[in-house]
Chain A
Amino acid sequence: MLDILAAASWLPLAFFMLLVLAFLVYVLLDGYDLGVGILSWFAKSEEQEIMLASIAPFWDANETWLVLTVGLLLVAFPAASGVILTELYLPVFVMLCGLIGRGVALEFRHARNGIHKKQWTRVFAGASLLVALAQGYMLGAFMSGFEDGFVAHIFYIMVGIGFAFAYALMGSAWLLMKTQGQISGLFGRLPYALKMSGWKAFAVIAGIFVFMAVAAAYSIYPHIVPGQLTLEDAAAAPESLAFIFAGAIITVPLLLAASVYSYVVFHGNTKELYYN
């Protein structure tokens, strides 16, 4: 079976689509929890409790989609991963500091009965913003083919700010959905005015992201590094792609089912979280 797969010339394209899909799912999922993180800076402490409780069971599964994205890049397009990740060395570093800071802050908030809760919550919010800015910056740099120069960097920073707002919007929709509008983030009184339910707001925003991702992917195809490398140039050996593809066919449905199950377990309004 691996031989038949390996002979398929569509493997690099399939992996390109998988890569875009993994990144899109990452942006949608970690987007809302990063957004909740950014918004938590501006919330009252009782609200912060509910906001963070709404994302606590999910954040690290959400972040795993980023590992899958970078994993797919390394695995399927090794030559491209070298170019992209060394070009983005510093923003990757900034993003990683942010991811480290927010991941541990969420856990450390509860440590020793939360004696430094306030400070850790600040770390969480600040680090979430840092991650959003860095990711937008990187996407801007990537899409422009790593152009250098003052104007280019201003553009990247603006994409970063755009990402921060987009994530905050998604976080707002998530909160609308999980708190019945008690906490509405950026939406203010809008949900009451529009009689809009949380999941509809979330779906609309998700829709915008999906179309932007498709447009972006289409605009760089057939390149994997805009202006430098094509999919074919950068793709790993067909035997290797086939071996991963075979595994993905078996495991991806399982992990999707597991994801859905965890959302079912934690469905409905967010309550205070208990370890026991």
Chain B
Amino acid sequence: MSFDFDATFLARLQFAANISFHILFPTLTISLGWLLFFFKRRFARTGEKVWLDMYFFWVRLFALAFALGIVSGVTMSFQFGTNWPGFMNKVGNIAGPLLGYEVMTSFFFEAIFLGIMVFGYRRVSPLVHDAATFIVAFSMTVSAFWILSLNSWMQTPAGFEMIDGKAYATDWLAVIFNPSMPYRMVHMLLASGLTAGFFMAGVAAYRWLAGHKTPVMKLSMKVGIYLAALLIPWQIMAGDLHGLNTREHQPQKVAAMEGLWETRQGAPLVLFAWPDEEARKNLYALEIPYASSMILTHDWNGAVEGLDSFKGNHPPVAPVFWSFRLMVGLGGLMLLVACVGAYQIYRRGEPNRLMLYALVPMSFSGWLATLLGWYVTEIGRQPWIVFEVMLTKEAAGPVASHWIGLTLVLYLLLYAALFWAFLWAVFVREEKGHA
């Protein structure tokens, strides 16, 4: 595989770096917001103070993650214009309103009520405070709806016509609820729940191991693990359905995910291999005969389209192939840890020591799986920015590659520093007066 460091490639790297950094925070905060609302309601219902303590412990980390999401999101909104001016020129009539609705129906409400949620506890009544928490969680979910609608439209465009090289909407409902939208929305919201569950359990396990053995930490592990155990089977099912939907609309993406170079009947399932882009075949492949046909067509001898049907018009195979395998592998690991952890808590009230040590690195499993999933779907869409409507290279702008390269390096340094600071704030125990 050869990289040529042209301006388009650098613009892609820069945008990918920003969007990868950004997605970590909304993925966490959407579900953490709903959990905070749940804690407040549990406290109102039961009067048990531990629920309020849970709220106050997690709301601080929530505020931090939310701020990181906001600032990287602002960056993203500018990078649509700085990195992809051609995108707005050609499909702005579709992308624009979806982004506009996201700002109008979500960004303002979440930002305004966040202030009341985080700093207004002593200034408003408990009911108003619950309502503010609800509005924040709800607005974040609405925001996910609009941006996933736009991303899905870029994957499976619908409800538009092309006139003189520009897209014009003909049916807004078809644009918004395009074919891959419901699948992507469900898959992403479940990913958010899993991310928050494992993050909550992992952070609590880390602090528990560090001697911070409080009721809040114990309950956080329980809530986190139960949530993860509840969602992971649904996520595996939703992922499978999303895959079938992708096969229907973007068969070359599925071919790259499966590493199938040739169209054939009775296609094997490639477990591991090194896809060789030059020779157009897999090296060192470990395969299960007929399994791919069985999974995709529910027939041992079903025909599965390979990459040969899409020569010159399919994504780079290795990154899609590997991201997909790592994501699925992580999903399996999450299933195992969540089920064993939930069983231990159910039987003994707390996880055993081995489980505590396992939960710490699993804090990041949701994040990692989410990123890998996005790499599958976004790299899998290449060479298109809007599938079969617009090539990525058509969207790039006139900015010189050395400027993009320089700012890319600086952005990366900034993100690395912020990520480190976030982990420092989350994982290291407070010097005094902790929850």
Number of B residues near A (Cβ < 8 Å) is 73
Judging by beta carbons under 8 Å apart, are B63 and A89 in contact? no
**CB-based nearest A residue for B86:** A82
Measured CA separation A19–B57 after assembly (Å): 40
Our pick among A72, A107, A244 for the contact of B64 (Cβ within 8 Å) is A107
Q: How far is the CA of A173 from the CA of B43 in the complex (A)?
A: 41
Which of A193-201, A208-216, A250-258 lies at the interface with chain B? A250-258
Contacts of B72 in A (CB 8 A): 100
Most buried by B among A89, A113, A244: A89
Please state if A85 and B418 are interface contacts (CB–CB under 8 Å): no
A164 to chain B minimum Cβ distance, whole angstroms, is 20
Given contacts A57-B120, A75-B100, contact A100 B107 (CB under 8 A): no
The verdict on B211 contacting chain A, using a C-beta distance below 8 Å, is no
Residue among A88, A96, A236 making CB contact with B74, cutoff 8 Å: A96
In-complex Cβ contact of B119 among A71, A259, A274 (8 A): A274
Q: Nearest residue in B to A86 (C-beta to C-beta)? A: B397
- Partner pick for B96 among A66, A78, A115, CB 8 A cutoff: A78
Beta-carbon contact of A70 and B118 below 8 Å? no
**Known interface pairs A57-B118, A82-B81. Does A76 touch B96 (Cβ–Cβ under 8 Å)?**
yes
Judge if B210 is at the interface, Cβ distance under 8 Å: no
B104 touches A252 (CB 8 A): yes
Give the chain B neighbours of A243 by CB distance below 8 A.
97, 169, 172
- The answer to whether A64 and B121 touch across the interface, beta carbons within 8 angstroms, is no
Known contacts A85-B78, A97-B410, A236-B93: A60-B119 contact under CB 8 Å: no
Chain B positions 110 through 139: 1 when the CB is less than 8 Å from some CB of chain A, otherwise 0: 011111101111111000000000000000
Contact between A274 and B121 (Cβ–Cβ < 8 Å)?
Answer: yes
In angstroms, Cα B85 to Cα A88, docked, is 12
Determine if A190 is an interface residue (Cβ-Cβ < 8 Å): no
With A and B bound together, what is the CA distance between A36 and B43 in angstroms?
37
Are B399 and A112 closer than 8 Å at their CB atoms? no
Cβ 8 A contact of B71, one of A78, A104, A111 = A104
Return the contact of B85 from the options A63, A82, A100, A244 (Cβ within 8 A). A82
Q: Which residue on B lies nearest to A72, using beta carbons?
A: B100
A106 to B67, CA, bound (A): 9
- A186 contacts partner chain B, Cβ-Cβ < 8 Å: no
Stretch from B223-231, B309-317, B376-384, B423-431 that touches the partner: B423-431
Q: Is the CB of B99 within 8 A of A100?
A: no
Q: Are B81 and A108 in contact (CB under 8 A)?
A: no
A232-260, CB under 8 A of B: which get 1 and which 0?
A: 00001101100110011001101100110
Contact of A203 with B by CB under 8 A:
no
What 0/1 pattern do residues 147 to 179 of B give for CB contact below 8 A with A? 000000000000000000010110010000000
State whether the Cβ of A5 lies closer than 8 Å to any Cβ in chain B.
no
CB-CB nearest in chain A for B85: A82
Are B96's CB and A251's CB within 8 A? no
User: B93 touching A89 by the CB < 8 A rule?
Assistant: no
Q: How far is the CA of A106 from the CA of B421 in the complex (A)?
A: 13
Beta-carbon contact of A78 and B418 below 8 Å: no
Smallest distance from the beta carbon of B116 to chain A beta carbons, Å?
6
Q: Among A61, A63, A115, A266, which residue has the most Cβ atoms of chain B within 10 A?
A: A61
Contact A84 to B81, CB < 8 A, known contacts A115-B431, A240-B96, A262-B116: yes
Question: For residue A58, which residues in chain B have a CB less than 8 angstroms away from its CB?
Answer: 115
The interface bits of chain B over 26-65 (1 if a CB of A lies within 8 angstroms of the residue's CB, else 0) are: 0000000000000000000000000000001001100110
Contact with A along B8-30 (1 / 0, CB 8 A): 00000000000000000000000
Judging by beta carbons under 8 Å apart, are A259 and B94 in contact? no
Q: Is the beta-carbon distance between A275 and B97 smaller than 8 angstroms?
A: no
Contact B85 A86 (CB under 8 A): yes
Nearest chain A CB to B262's CB is how many angstroms away?
A: 42
Cβ-based interface call for A170 (8 A) = no
Q: Is A67's beta carbon under 8 Å from chain B?
A: yes
Place the interface of chain A in its size category: 35 or more
Cα A8 to Cα B56 in complex, Å, equals 51
Q: Is B88 engaged at the interface, CB distance under 8 Å to the other chain?
A: yes
At the interface, yes or no: B105 with Cβ under 8 Å from chain A? yes
- In whole angstroms, how far apart are the Cα atoms of A70 and B108 in the complex? 14
Given A64-B107, A236-B93, verify A265-B120 contact (CB < 8 Å): yes
What's the Cα separation between A261 and B398 when bound, in Å? 44
Q: Contacts A71-B99, A75-B99, A100-B414 known; A251 to B92 CB distance under 8 Å?
A: no
Establish whether residues B398 and A90, one from each chain, have CB atoms under 8 Å apart when the complex forms: no
Contact partners of B85 in chain A: CB under 8 A: 81-83, 85-86
Contact yes or no, A60 B67, CB < 8 A: yes
Contact B397 A82 (CB under 8 A): yes
A239 touches B105 (CB 8 A): no
Say whether, besides A107-B67, A266-B123, A239 and B168 are in contact (CB < 8 Å): yes
Asked if B109 contacts A112 (CB within 8 A), the reply is: no
Interface residues of B (CB under 8 A from A): 56, 59-60, 63-64, 66-68, 70-75, 77-78, 80-82, 85-86, 88-89, 92-97, 99-101, 103-105, 107-109, 111-116, 118-124, 166, 168-169, 172, 397-399, 403, 407, 410-411, 414, 418, 421, 424-425, 428, 430-434
Closest 4 CB pairs of A and B: A82-B85, A78-B92, A85-B81, A57-B115
Can you list 22 A-B contacts (CB < 8 A)?
A56-B115, A60-B70, A61-B111, A64-B103, A67-B107, A68-B108, A79-B89, A84-B81, A103-B68, A104-B68, A107-B63, A108-B421, A112-B430, A113-B434, A115-B431, A244-B97, A258-B108, A258-B112, A259-B108, A262-B113, A265-B115, A265-B116
